[in-house]
Amino acid sequence: DAGVIQSPRHEVTEMGQEVTLRCKPISGHNSLFWYRQTMMRGLELLIYFNNNVPIDDSGMPEDRFSAKMPNASFSTLKIQPSEPRDSAVYFCASSPGDSPNYGYTFGSGTRLTVV
Amino acid sequence: AQSVTQLGSHVSVSEGALVLLRCNYSSSVPPYLFWYVQYPNQGLQLLLKYTTGATLVKGINGFEAEFKKSETSFHLTKPSAHMSDAAEYFCAVTLNNAGNMLTFGGGTRLMVKP
């Protein structure tokens, strides 16, 4: 299994531009999570999908952020317009079920820099 | 609400010394507890987990953790540190009535001196 695949690994963009981060979960996993990691705030859960349906998006910082999961094998996190304070590492994680017993498998992350 | 506190954002040990990383949680119901490790420029990897049963849990790379309900703790230990253990370690908790949502602690960066 290739694990959770995120793209791109690095993204540098100018303030005001649209940014799209992509995630392919492990096949058969039906829970998907987007996290943001910064030095100041640590790991923050942005949104949680189960069976492609958003269950909890209370961590999405503001309307500039949106996430979709059109099918079981693909999810996107979009920031429009981007701002320098959005600079962070964004992680996608997946889990085989909606039970807390399983734990998560994380992707390698996308390092976003907004200049 | 659940929360996780990791005491010490940085811990430094000598190679061969005991590693002890502290984690305390708050929860009004039995928790599920996890330790993850993050190496530089990588995602988080599961080290070990406690769900039910035996309170002493063994994980990968020689790490273990003990769930102590009376102390609301889940400290991570390893008898002898290796240079390759240098990384950031995260404790996480979820509740059986919180679906599958993990709450992470702030992380502890472990440094291993030769």
What tens digit of pLDDT does each residue of B36-51 get? Answer: 999 988 899 999 999 8
Mean of pLDDT values over A16-44? 94
Q: What is the pLDDT of residue A61?
A: 87
- pLDDT over 60 (residue A112): yes
Whether residue B43 and residue A91 make contact (CB cut-off 8 A), yes or no, is yes
Whether residue B51 and residue A101 make contact (CB cut-off 8 A), yes or no, is yes
- Residue A25, CA atoms < 13 Å, CB-side half-sphere: 29
Q: What is the pLDDT of residue B98?
A: 60
Distances (CA, A) of B42 to A9, A115, B6, B11: 10, 23, 21, 20
Query: From the candidates A23, A26, A37, which should be mutated to test the interface with B, based on the most B CB atoms within 10 A?
Result: A37
Contact B8, B106 (CB under 8 A): no
Give the type of residue at A92.
C
> What share of chain B in percent tops pLDDT 70?
94
Distance from CA of A105 to the nearest CA of B (A): 7
Q: What is the pLDDT of residue A103?
A: 82
Q: Which of A94-103, B78-87, B94-103 has the lowest mean pLDDT?
A: B94-103
Copy the structure tokens of residue A31: 């829970």
**DSSP category for residue B51:** -
Task: State pLDDT tens for residues A52-72.
Answer: 999 989 899 889 999 999 999
